[in-house]
Amino acid sequence: MKSLWVNPPWWCVLALLVVGGGLCVLAIMGDCVVRTPGPTPNILAATTPASPASGELLVLTVSESTVGPVGAVQCWLSPDCEVNASTAGGNAGVQRQQADSAAVQAATPFHGSSGVASGATPRVSLPGVVGPSAGLATALALISAQTQTVVVPAGTVVAVTGTVDAAGVVGQVGGIEQKAVAAARAGASTMLVPTGQGPQASGTSVPVVEIGSVAQALAWLCAHGGHGPACRVR
């Protein structure tokens, strides 16, 4: 029997060149950051005072870790992993604080127009969640807690990702493919993503809805079972 190593087929040679070349590049670059699907906490259960009893509004996250060349190759071979040459964001904690501040401002108009008596601004506690991509979910959770609006009906799981500014405009996020996998694993019935990122999040069976603002997200939730004072705000 003729050995493949004596006269290997073209595809074998190409595969060796690609893998070998990748290893050489990784060796030169040194450590890389890999992204995998992260935890999906229910933000409605993380507000003080509490949001009304309802379904789940999941914050989608990615887990980042620094690996060497071997770990990077293992990540490349996994469909749920992404390799980045840059290091993990060192200012992610600051970004989260800024995102929380913007979310409070974005939620305020809905509180003022709902007819609910003014009270202390609710607080959201999500230990371990950093970066700005929980902004949209935070704004929705604040609206729910402030106005006692059920934004997700009982028995329903909605996953959310997206930054938000003080005007309530939703911005795009990183790691959207890994977040889609996380949503599917968590049993989400729908995934809300920033406008323009729907195609990136369509790699699972979870239906994807593109959202451009806090108002649009709230309107979608109210049209799909949400109810309460904020749902009557127009």
SS3 of the chain: the string is CCCCCCCCCHHHHHHHHHHHHHHHHHHHHCCEEEEEECCCCEHHHCEECCCCCCCEEEECCEEEEEECHHHHHHHHCCCCCEEECCCCCCCHHHHHHHHHHHHHHHHHHHHHHCCCCCCCCCEECCCCCCCCCCHHHHHHHHHHHHHCCECCCCCCEEEECCEECCCCEEECCCCHHHHHHHHHHCCCCEEEEECCCCHHHCCCCCCEEEECEHHHHHHHHHHCCCECHHHHCC
pLDDT at 65: 87
Residue 195 falls inside a structural domain: yes
Residue 74 falls inside a structural domain: no
C-alpha to C-alpha distance for 131 and 88, rounded to whole angstroms: 11
| Model pTM score | 0.81
- The total of structural domains in the chain comes to 1
pLDDT in tens, 95-104: 778 888 999 9
Of the ranges 52-66, 76-90, 108-122, 130-144, which one carries the lowest mean pLDDT score? 108-122
pLDDT in tens, 155-193: 999 999 999 999 999 999 999 999 999 999 999 999 999
pLDDT in tens, 12-62: 444 444 554 454 444 445 678 889 999 999 999 999 888 887 899 999 999
pLDDT in tens, 135-159: 999 999 999 999 999 999 999 999 9
Residue 158 falls inside a structural domain: yes
Query: In the chain, what is the greatest distance between 2 CA atoms, to the nearest angstrom?
Result: 84
Residue 30 falls inside a structural domain: no
Task: Decide: 214 and 199 in contact? Cβ < 8 Å.
Answer: no
Residue 84 falls inside a structural domain: no
CATH number reported for the structural domain that contains residue 43 in this entry? 3.30.230.10
Residue 118 falls inside a structural domain: yes
Give CA torsion, residues 209, 174, 32, 40, to 10 deg.
-60
Residue 211 falls inside a structural domain: yes
Strand order from edge to edge, sheet including 32-37? 62-67, 32-37, 82-84
Mean pLDDT over the full length of the chain? 84
Residue 52 falls inside a structural domain: yes
- 121: containing domain: 38-63+90-232
What confidence tier does 1 reach under pLDDT thresholds 50, 70, 90?
A: very low
pLDDT at 125: 87
